[in-house]
Structure 1
């Protein structure tokens, strides 16, 4: 068992060192989506995709396509679900965002976005995929948040910091405020 584990670790190190030393772009893309409920009975979906070139050379003719948003469910409010750039330098970052609106209730499972790019040494287009998003529960019935539950969560998260700040505040107040018993004695003079 130990020999197998060591063999796997050595193989991973060799593969990662080979990838790290090769002169090619290495594209990493992160896709995020957030929901905002509108008063009109619809829900707005804000999508952002960040594309990083972690490789050692420039990627050319970079193109992003995110076709997982069905036109039967979503309407584009701003931006486009696809775009392109001339290049992405080594160590560089490209960002793209768009907003959609939906009036259809239900769970939505979005696929990763597809990024294509070209490297000078190869004629074929290369492909990379973004991270997938978590399922979106569009127009889900969410119970109103109770103020007591909100306070409990706040105390659970920041309770120790609140305690320390309270103790320090009381200490500073006691040190900074004049003592009543000492003030009376100091003002009386013996003759």
Structure 2
């Protein structure tokens, strides 16, 4: 019993400390950056990598002097064919989102592990620049030999992608069908009353 009381006391103290730190930092930006890349095989024997980074301010204050740098792309493997790997914005208001994209090209067969993009921003109440990192990418298999997809694998992938949508549409159609069609017992009663 004594051990349980001490654990409860410790949990209460941790809760109070964490809630006070949350309220102390509630007037600041909270930057979330999502990085994604898609591969597109070109006829010239090279692969195009389209990179896009979405940045959101989920905090309760504006972020100023926001800059994005994504320089983890090795120049030995990739060359930039459109856009820049870095950019900046004057400010990012509360609840606002910005997006940046660029394209790279590679003709080297490799598995590439990209580093997260870095977002730096200024908060008026702090002297130092703040940093946030984007989500990481899965390893990119540049110019890999992709096996042919079996029909079963394709069905599984489509079900994973659209299964919930199909379920919702099926439920709605069944509901409309049940509401729109009269029940057989009600129709039978109606015909008996007419006699």
- What's the secondary structure of 1:18's corresponding residue? helix
Aligned in 2, Cα 1:38/1:49: closer, same or farther, shift over 3 Å?
same
Please name the residue that 2:33 is paired with.
Answer: 29
Give the structure with higher Rg (CA). 1
Deviation of the 1:54 alpha carbon: 1.1
Give the alignment's Cα RMSD to 1 decimal: 3.0
Please name the residue that 1:18 is paired with.
Answer: 21
Aligned in 2, Cα 1:114/1:5: closer, same or farther, shift over 3 Å?
farther
5+ residue gaps, structure 2? 178-195
Aligned length: 164
TM-score, reference length from structure 2: 0.71
Q: Deviations over 1:11-67 (max 9, x none)?
A: 367536633553111111111111111111111111111111111110000000001
In 2, the alpha carbon distance for the partners of 1:107 and 1:154 equals 23
Q: Please list, as runs of the form range in 1=range in 2, the aligned pairs for 1:146-161 lying within 5 A after superposition.
A: 146=150, 148-149=151-152, 152-153=155-156
Please say if residues 20 and 55 of structure 1, whose CA atoms lie closer than 8 Å, have aligned partners that are also in contact: no
Partner residue of 2:73 out of 69, 73, 83:
69
Please name the residue that 2:47 is paired with.
Answer: 43
Aligned in 2, Cα 1:11/1:47: closer, same or farther, shift over 3 Å?
farther
Q: Please list, as runs of the form range in 1=range in 2, the aligned pairs for 1:1-191 lying within 5 A after superposition.
A: 7=10, 11=14, 14-15=17-18, 18-19=21-22, 22=25, 23-146=27-150, 148-149=151-152, 152-153=155-156
5+ residue gaps, structure 1? 172-191
